[in-house]
A and B are shown apart, each in its own frame.
Chain A
Amino acid sequence: MNGTGQQPELSSVVSAKGLDLTFQTNDGPVHALKDVNLEINKGDFVSFIGPSGCGKTTFLRCIAALETPTGGSLTVNGMTPDEARRKRAYGYVFQAAGLYPWRTIAKNIKLPLEIMGYSRQEQDERVRNVLELVDLAGFGGKFPWQLSGGMQQRASIARALAFDADILLMDEPFGALDEIVRDHLNEQLLALWARTGKTIGFVTHSIPEAVYLSTRIVVMSPRPGRITDVIESPLPKERPLDIRDSAEFIEVAHRVREGLRAGHADE
């Protein structure tokens, strides 16, 4: 230990160095991730943006130990991703809400708590808290099909928040929703992030969404999946929706678009 700055900072939550992931398929190897280097610090809101096949979801899944890298190193909270998974370091929000149709919203949110052996009283308390956090208070007794798509997705976020994971990984959670609902949920997500101080990894297709939400935007491009640009957002932490009309916002969006275009031209 000579402390030459090679060490990740204390606040580093996710650290990827030279990360590779190659899938062997019948048509030969597919390089889903190639030489990915990234540090995510505590409290960051990091968005991953890029065209299909750029590896943004794959990288998120590597962090969650749902995929296993074939090369390089990756740590989550200083552990291997799988150790972190078993210690319940993160909550994961999938593209589809994935709620059990035969469980009520409250019961769906309780599922991880039941599995983790929380007392019934604690379960009820946590469910009440997270339902309030995602603005679904009073909907605990409803079944998923009685809720709109946006509400289902919020319930799914509530489930990921119900246990105290410091990291929230979200894979295009609002991809299937219309723009107005998406705006609203983006606003709520920022408020939630400010209140909880969680570290968030967020995969998206949408440039405005990435710019509006993130402290850092990671631009990726495909074949092989790699990072082409990392943009530190100059936007303030407090972000009303109309910040999207500001010159700063448009400038960042422009840079993201340029990054995406450059990645495309490389092919």
Chain B
Amino acid sequence: MQNFAHEMQVAFALILAGDSELLGIVALSLRVSLFAVLFAALIGMPLGAALAVGRFPGRRALAVLVNALMGLPPVVVGLLVYLMLSRSGPLGVLQLLYTPTAMIIAQVVLVTPIIAALTRQVIEMLDAEYAEQMRSLGLSRLATVPVLLWDGRVALLTALLAGFGRAIAEVGAVIIVGGNINHVTRVMTTTIALETSKGNLALALALGTVLIAIAVTVNAMVSLLGQRAEAQEDVRHA
């Protein structure tokens, strides 16, 4: 165990010293996952809102599909995106394989269903309560969407954080489409996997510590926001 204690010490030294390799990896992870959440939000929120207030054929089936996609195995998503982007694949000409962009695409696929499904829940709940109020104010159903999105913003932030939590902690998809190339596509999770197998436990532990800190922070924020939303809920039904 002496060995482990020593590695832990080195790991903390790396973090405290702000080791440039470590910082680079953390920065790339954040960049990839934040962009992924941004794009997933741009797709997922309107999609979720449309599923909540829209009245079109196939709406229920689509809602079930989106819910089911929340549980997509990252490795399989990685494989599918790999096939799409590989040189002989339909999008091969873009030459995106093994770039951060490819990793963002894979994470967008993973995160979009989460954001869409959670957005649908939030907007459906608000809509059930305020649809007639909005209608009596002369609004069409479509025009209520921005109002509902804005008034549900706290709960929607929770959806974004949940999506970010999934993206930053995921390893299967990014390792396949990113290739884990040093200084190019190496993110926290893939580095931990690699360095552990190489026996370089210090760097793996340091990244693991940062990753856990991020995950705990995100989850704490989710539950804090959740409590706030719940408090609003209690007030409403009091």
Contacts and interface: CB of A to CB of B under 8 A. Distances in A.
Interface of A: 64-66, 85-88, 90-92, 94, 98, 100-103, 111-112, 115-116, 143-145
B236 A66 contact: no
Contact of A115 (B137, B154, B238): B137
A135 to B, nearest CB: 23
A101 B138 contact: no
Contacts of B133: 92, 94, 98
Contacts, number: 46
Nearest to B153: A102
Given A115-B147, A145-B238, A101 B232 contact: yes
A144 B151 contact: no
Nearest to A87: B138
Interface of B: 129-130, 132-133, 135-140, 143, 147, 151, 154, 232, 235-236, 238
Contacts of A100: 130, 151
Contact of A64 (B136, B143, B151): B136
Contacts of B147: 111, 115
A88 B137 contact: yes
B130 A98 contact: yes
A86 B139 CA distance: 7
Contacts of A144: 235
Contacts of B132: 66, 92, 94
Nearest to A92: B136
B130 A85 contact: no
21 contacts: A64-B136, A65-B135, A66-B132, A66-B135, A86-B138, A86-B140, A88-B137, A88-B138, A90-B136, A91-B136, A94-B133, A94-B136, A98-B133, A100-B130, A102-B151, A102-B154, A102-B232, A115-B137, A115-B147, A116-B137, A143-B235
A111 B151 CA distance: 11
Contacts of A64: 136
A112 B235 contact: no
Contacts of A94: 132-133, 136
Nearest to B229: A102
Of the candidates B129, B136, B151, the one having the most CB atoms from chain A within 10 angstroms of its own CB is B136
Nearest to B135: A66
Given A101-B232, A143-B235, 20 more contacts: A64-B136, A65-B135, A66-B135, A66-B136, A85-B138, A86-B138, A87-B138, A88-B138, A92-B132, A94-B136, A98-B133, A100-B130, A101-B236, A115-B137, A115-B143, A116-B137, A116-B138, A144-B235, A145-B235, A145-B238
